[in-house]
Structure 1
Amino acid sequence: MNIPFSRARKSSRRHNPFLNFFRDDPNAADRGRRRLRMRKFLAYYRPHLPLLLADLLCAILVAGTAVALPLCANVVTSRLLTLPDAPQSFAQILAMGGVMLAVLAVQIAAIFFVDYRGHVMGARIEATVRQELFEHCQKLSFSFYDRQRTGQLMSRITNDSLWLGELFHHGPEDLSIAVLKYGGAMLVLFFIDPPLATLILLLTPVAVAYALYFNRRMNRALEASKRQIAAVNERVEDALAGIRVVQSFANEALEKERFAEQNRRFLHSRAEGYRSEAWFSVGTETFAQLVTILVIIGGGLRILAAELTVPDMLTFLLCVAVLVDPVQRLANFVRLWQEGYTGFVRAMEILEIAPDITDRPAARLMPAPRGEISFSNVAFGYEADGPRVLEQLSLTIAPGEFVALVGPSGVGKSTLCALIPRFYDVEAGAIRIDGIDIRDMTLASLRRHVGVVQQDVYLFAGTVAENLRYGRPDATDAELEAAARAANAHDFIIALPHGYDTDIGQRGVKLSGGQRQRITIARAFLKNPEILIFDEATSALDNESERAVQQALLSLANGRTTLVIAHRLSTVRHADRILVLTADGIVEQGTHDELMAQNGVYANLHSVQASI
């Protein structure tokens, strides 16, 4: 597993969030983190405080009416047994029946509000957490995603959030109703018959101990289940995103086997969880039935001893029945806490990751640049303890200069370009635009002035026009067409079934590789930045399209600072300057003719390509 914030649990007891939140931990940092997370958890209720209070008020009404109904039944049965005046008793019974119907109406209304508006509150908080997760993921830098798997992140944003909504809704209400019902029913029981009530009270710790034991088992199973469903999502995302590779190698059977194995692991983890839940439910139900039997036997004996009346016995039994619901609600709360709070912790693990690339406190907006770019003793490596890709690199690019980067793969051409818009930060040295350190500019303003066509072409699901407007959302139709013409894309776009309104499918699957490449180039043209970076921008084009794009690129590059990376040297022979990079850094630079005359690395690369 690649996600560093998803540590395997050594012990479910140690990491059980319900049992261990308030446990003394020798690690002060862990205690502080748990407190901060709990405060964060409770803070999500703040915007919904009126709704939460109304929900809790209705929960109080639900609990109060549940205890009131047995008391009403006591009045009715007492009246039936005494019957001093039948007509009068009949009227009193009918009156009490009316009271019970009124109590029932209040209870039904309160339950409706709790179930409906409480769910709305939970869904809103769930949406808030999911939105925060998505927005935070947008801030995380390339280095974070270099280490992660998309399926794992998607599982945290989607699946884990679903459990959160249920916890935020049912948590307060179930806990409130359970405590109030249990407390109210026990008060009535002690008022009716203290010895019998004491027996029930003494049995409660046994039920609690049983519940806590299986609570630990459920927690372990739930954590395993969440890890396994994340792995399933990862497997699905990987297989479907690479479906063309799968089918081209006729490896459908292999992918089916891989998915089936991962699916079996998830099923096994779910089965373990269901087994624990079943024992949990059986235990609570058994406790309720045993208590009922004990009350019937004990109450019967006390009636024979004239220490308990029949109406009180009936009321006692009804209150014992009321006690079943708190036990079930507490069981439900424990389950929700396990499912929801472990999901909340997984969400917090992402939200607590600070972005590697951020604005400095005094960062300022970048003005429209002239376009001078300077690298001063720049060093960079993708891993802190790994080899550096760039070492002590110094370079100055003049405003409006057309610079090409060539050389073998893996020598840092793409890395050098990725440092300019701060997709990564340098480890040493500095990069300046017009003499200003790019770290002193806000990220948003810096990237608005830098256009990038990356080696890995990515188009969003939607229409051609929607993908083009990603470069500038307020662009007019005329500007879309002009950008498409500049990238030699207009002709094939209007030949599509619906022209610019044609849906291109997920990742642009309905287009050819060259068409996708040209749309990404048109998108960069539409952005109209002062600094252009083309990373292997024409690598997927046929010769005719490549020539057309080269002409458009030369026209667009006029007066702009442009960096182009290409393995095909024919695409950069008109560059103002060509930089030849190897593992030793920049070993040659000059125009095409100058480098050919040197008969060095560039000339050798050119002769090798010419012979192919």
Structure 2
Amino acid sequence: MTVTTASPRTGAPTRGGGGGAGGRVAQKNKQDVAQLEEHPVPLRRITALFRPYRWRLAVVCGLIVATSSVGLASPFLVKHLIDDAIPHQNVGLLLALVGAMLAITVVSQLLGVLQTWMSTQIGQQVMHDLRTRLFGHLQRMPVGFFTRTRSGEVQSRATNDINAMQSVVTDSATSIASNVTTAVGTAIAMGLLSWRLSLLSLVVLPPAIWLTRRVAHQRRAIQSKAQRTLADMQTQIEESLSINGVILAKTLGSGPTLSRRFAESSRVLTGLELQSQLAGRWRMGTMAIIFAAIPALIYLAAGLPATGGGMSIGTLVAFVALQSQLFRPLMGVLNVGAQIVTSKALFSRIFEYLDLPVEIDDPADPVELQHDSVRGEVRLDHVGVTYPDADRPALDDIDLTVPAGSTVAIVGATGSGKSTLAGLVSRLQDPTTGAVRIDGHDLRDLRLTDVAELVGVVSQESYLLHASVADNLRYARPDATDEEIVAAARAAQVHDLISALPDGYDTLVGSRGYRFSGGEKQRIALARTILRNPQILVLDEATSALDNATERAVQRAIDAASHGRTTITIAHRLTTVRGADRIVVLDRGRIVEQGTHEQLLLRGGRYADLWQSQLDPQAA
């Protein structure tokens, strides 16, 4: 399926459908050529992937040459059968030749099996190396990369492109080598049998090959259009038949319009599929004509005194057999250019991701911290964050200290920089200026795993894996005991709920399992964070999507979990943070106020305005 993808850096579409009806190679491979122009791939970089397996590759190449060479011997055996063994009733020679023909078949098949096994093994090992490198590299990408990249693009490259490359490595590469070897060997063998008939074949083949390739290119152009139409249909199905799409269509009454649009796409696809099949039928017809015409012309030339030269029947039969074997590998050799472009484009898409810089990484000489000795003081030391192409900083000169064990709430209007600040504390991103410190240590001097162990995050969107409740909780700490899991669930006030499920902690949840409500998912996410036992807890709008009753239940769990921990709460609803030790008000990326709830209300500033607008929305 042809898929329009997006640049991993900008999120903008970089490739579209390709191929005009003219069927030229540049048009047919428009997507691949565009990809290679944007991110060229030196051939040495591809060959470097195979360097650890170079000796086994040499054996595979030897097997390919041996298989092709053995296969060329059969026509010569047929020649001696017809010219010598059968006319002279030479039984010994007849048995030897027939035995040799059977032996050639057996040896060819054995060599083919061995070649397939070795080439597939090498290809799978190369793909394993590349797949694991890509997955590990993507794990190190910042959150901004995934927000900029279109949904499904990362998964497509990590799965579809890798799967396509498996075919390239294990099939296309060996096919190219085999076709080149067979074509060259067959041409040499034909020349040894009859140079006159070889010249005739060379004269006839070029126009026949040109005609066949033109039909093939036309079919590819039609198939490219059909693939784009099919992709559009699949997008319509995904968007229109998802739960959100269905609700949107029903509430807007757009169902008939969607049906008409889908019917039109289906009609276009039907016409394209018909054209594709007819083009294929013309191609098959052209091939049949070629296969029938060339042997006929060879028989004619062999029968004429001027061109036959007294050729024996055995030589003629052997030559025709060789000539019939030439067309397929020759077409394969002529298609090598397109295969190379396609293959390099696949590698280019993978290398494009592997070449993305790791913006947030472990330091070369990390500070060693003992988990139990960390007090949990958080300091934002004149921190600033500026996003590319932004007209103003997201955070500007934030100077804030959160004492160990205290609770600080960060509030402000949408776009004031609250979530950016939360991302800095958990090192989902780094500041443009200044530093974020824990107990005086710059986060950039700590290992990422140490930061994740020290800082626990509960966000508005609680994601549950398709696994049991226990496995979801143990995701935070794989070595946690059942008793520790239960203790964490009790601390998040969700143990009773889990125990009441049909299978308790073994209940399957996630996309195809038991569906928790928003508040229940939040408490399970909180339990998962508590299980990791971080000294610092960051709550990023953890209750903003909940109704009031559910919010109160989750808030009680949060209050219990926050006890004894440094807690930074990012909140939109001010009622959830009125009990914080200190409230910090952000406006357009700057701290404009800070103090307790009562102090800020008495001050009558920005916080008081926000509080009043939430109590009385009409006054906002």
TM > 0.5 fold call: yes
* Counterpart among 39, 47, 62 of residue 42 in structure 1: 47
Matches within 5 A, 1:136-535: 136-206=137-207, 243-244=243-244, 246-247=246-247, 250=250, 253=255, 286-302=289-305, 306-330=309-333, 337=340, 339-365=342-368, 367-368=370-371, 369-506=374-511, 510-535=515-540
Give me the whole-angstrom Cα distance separating, in 2, the residues matched to 1:416 and 1:20.
41
State whether residues 522 and 554 of structure 2, in contact with CA within 8 Å, keep that contact through their aligned partners in structure 1: no
Task: Identify the residue that residue 536 of structure 1 maps to in structure 2.
Answer: 541
Task: Identify the residue that residue 70 of structure 1 maps to in structure 2.
Answer: 75
State whether residues 17 and 341 of structure 1, in contact with CA within 8 Å, keep that contact through their aligned partners in structure 2: no
In 2 relative to 1, CA 268–437 (structure 1 residues): closer, same or farther, beyond 3 Å?
A: farther
Task: Identify the residue that residue 24 of structure 1 maps to in structure 2.
Answer: none
**1:33-81 CA distances to partner (integer Å, 9 max, x unpaired)?**
6453x22322333444455444333322321122100011111111146
State whether residues 83 and 312 of structure 2, in contact with CA within 8 Å, keep that contact through their aligned partners in structure 1: no
Give me the whole-angstrom Cα distance separating, in 1, the residues matched to 2:347 and 2:215.
21
After alignment, is 362-371 or 557-566 more displaced?
A: 362-371
Give me the whole-angstrom Cα distance separating, in 2, the residues matched to 1:383 and 1:154.
25
Task: Identify the residue that residue 98 of structure 1 maps to in structure 2.
Answer: 99
After TM superposition, give the deviation of residue 98 of structure 1 in Å: 0.9
After TM superposition, give the deviation of residue 565 of structure 1 in Å: 1.6
SS in 2 for 1:150: coil
Give me the whole-angstrom Cα distance separating, in 1, the residues matched to 2:520 and 2:126.
42
In 2 relative to 1, CA 256–510 (structure 1 residues): closer, same or farther, beyond 3 Å?
A: farther
Task: Identify the residue that residue 568 of structure 2 maps to in structure 1.
Answer: 563
State whether residues 366 and 442 of structure 1, in contact with CA within 8 Å, keep that contact through their aligned partners in structure 2: no
In 2 relative to 1, CA 578–500 (structure 1 residues): closer, same or farther, beyond 3 Å?
A: same
Give me the whole-angstrom Cα distance separating, in 1, the residues matched to 2:174 and 2:559.
67
After alignment, is 69-78 or 287-296 more displaced?
A: 287-296
Whichever residue aligns with residue 105 of structure 1, its letter is V
After alignment, is 469-478 or 265-274 more displaced?
A: 265-274
State whether residues 491 and 557 of structure 2, in contact with CA within 8 Å, keep that contact through their aligned partners in structure 1: yes
After alignment, is 591-600 or 297-306 more displaced?
A: 297-306
After TM superposition, give the deviation of residue 116 of structure 1 in Å: 4.8
In 2 relative to 1, CA 224–123 (structure 1 residues): closer, same or farther, beyond 3 Å?
A: farther
After TM superposition, give the deviation of residue 112 of structure 1 in Å: 2.8
In 2 relative to 1, CA 30–123 (structure 1 residues): closer, same or farther, beyond 3 Å?
A: closer
Whichever residue aligns with residue 146 of structure 1, its letter is T
After TM superposition, give the deviation of residue 495 of structure 1 in Å: 0.9
Give me the whole-angstrom Cα distance separating, in 2, the residues matched to 1:175 and 1:4.
31
SS in 1 for 2:381: strand
State whether residues 214 and 276 of structure 1, in contact with CA within 8 Å, keep that contact through their aligned partners in structure 2: yes
Give me the whole-angstrom Cα distance separating, in 2, the residues matched to 1:450 and 1:97.
78
In 2 relative to 1, CA 517–109 (structure 1 residues): closer, same or farther, beyond 3 Å?
A: same
SS in 1 for 2:401: strand
In 2 relative to 1, CA 362–237 (structure 1 residues): closer, same or farther, beyond 3 Å?
A: farther
State whether residues 380 and 401 of structure 2, in contact with CA within 8 Å, keep that contact through their aligned partners in structure 1: yes
SS in 2 for 1:595: helix
Q: Give the count of matched residue pairs.
A: 600
In 2 relative to 1, CA 468–232 (structure 1 residues): closer, same or farther, beyond 3 Å?
A: farther
**1:573-606 CA distances to partner (integer Å, 9 max, x unpaired)?**
2211111222262221111222222233323333
Whichever residue aligns with residue 486 of structure 1, its letter is A
In 2 relative to 1, CA 408–385 (structure 1 residues): closer, same or farther, beyond 3 Å?
A: closer
After TM superposition, give the deviation of residue 429 of structure 1 in Å: 2.6
SS in 1 for 2:152: helix
Task: Identify the residue that residue 6 of structure 2 maps to in structure 1.
Answer: 3
State whether residues 394 and 589 of structure 2, in contact with CA within 8 Å, keep that contact through their aligned partners in structure 1: no
In 2 relative to 1, CA 204–18 (structure 1 residues): closer, same or farther, beyond 3 Å?
A: farther
State whether residues 36 and 348 of structure 2, in contact with CA within 8 Å, keep that contact through their aligned partners in structure 1: no
Give me the whole-angstrom Cα distance separating, in 2, the residues matched to 1:406 and 1:587.
11
State whether residues 214 and 279 of structure 1, in contact with CA within 8 Å, keep that contact through their aligned partners in structure 2: yes
State whether residues 431 and 438 of structure 1, in contact with CA within 8 Å, keep that contact through their aligned partners in structure 2: yes
State whether residues 404 and 577 of structure 1, in contact with CA within 8 Å, keep that contact through their aligned partners in structure 2: yes
State whether residues 402 and 576 of structure 1, in contact with CA within 8 Å, keep that contact through their aligned partners in structure 2: yes
State whether residues 218 and 338 of structure 1, in contact with CA within 8 Å, keep that contact through their aligned partners in structure 2: no
State whether residues 379 and 391 of structure 1, in contact with CA within 8 Å, keep that contact through their aligned partners in structure 2: yes
Give me the whole-angstrom Cα distance separating, in 2, the residues matched to 1:203 and 1:602.
87
Matches within 5 A, 1:593-608: 593-608=598-613
Whichever residue aligns with residue 4 of structure 1, its letter is S
State whether residues 222 and 339 of structure 1, in contact with CA within 8 Å, keep that contact through their aligned partners in structure 2: no
* Counterpart among 32, 37, 60 of residue 55 in structure 1: 60
State whether residues 413 and 565 of structure 1, in contact with CA within 8 Å, keep that contact through their aligned partners in structure 2: yes
State whether residues 171 and 333 of structure 1, in contact with CA within 8 Å, keep that contact through their aligned partners in structure 2: no
After TM superposition, give the deviation of residue 191 of structure 1 in Å: 1.4
**1:390-448 CA distances to partner (integer Å, 9 max, x unpaired)?**
22222222222210112222211111111222222222232222223222323232222
Structure 2: runs of 5 or more not aligned = none
RMSD, matched Cα:
3.8
Structure 1: runs of 5 or more not aligned = 22-26
Give me the whole-angstrom Cα distance separating, in 1, the residues matched to 2:66 and 2:53.
20
Whichever residue aligns with residue 76 of structure 2, its letter is L
Give me the whole-angstrom Cα distance separating, in 2, the residues matched to 1:301 and 1:218.
40
Give me the whole-angstrom Cα distance separating, in 1, the residues matched to 2:273 and 2:360.
39
Give me the whole-angstrom Cα distance separating, in 2, the residues matched to 1:438 and 1:289.
75
SS in 2 for 1:573: coil
SS in 2 for 1:506: coil
State whether residues 301 and 307 of structure 2, in contact with CA within 8 Å, keep that contact through their aligned partners in structure 1: no
In 2 relative to 1, CA 520–610 (structure 1 residues): closer, same or farther, beyond 3 Å?
A: same
Give me the whole-angstrom Cα distance separating, in 1, the residues matched to 2:80 and 2:217.
44
SS in 1 for 2:567: strand
After alignment, is 471-480 or 254-263 more displaced?
A: 254-263
State whether residues 36 and 345 of structure 2, in contact with CA within 8 Å, keep that contact through their aligned partners in structure 1: no
SS in 2 for 1:250: helix
State whether residues 517 and 540 of structure 1, in contact with CA within 8 Å, keep that contact through their aligned partners in structure 2: no
After TM superposition, give the deviation of residue 526 of structure 1 in Å: 0.8
Q: Structure 2 length normalisation: TM-score? A: 0.84
After TM superposition, give the deviation of residue 303 of structure 1 in Å: 8.7
Give me the whole-angstrom Cα distance separating, in 2, the residues matched to 1:66 and 1:450.
67
Whichever residue aligns with residue 324 of structure 1, its letter is F
After TM superposition, give the deviation of residue 195 of structure 1 in Å: 1.9
SS in 1 for 2:304: helix
In 2 relative to 1, CA 344–302 (structure 1 residues): closer, same or farther, beyond 3 Å?
A: farther
Q: Percent identity?
A: 32
**1:284-309 CA distances to partner (integer Å, 9 max, x unpaired)?**
66544443232122122259854312
State whether residues 492 and 561 of structure 2, in contact with CA within 8 Å, keep that contact through their aligned partners in structure 1: no
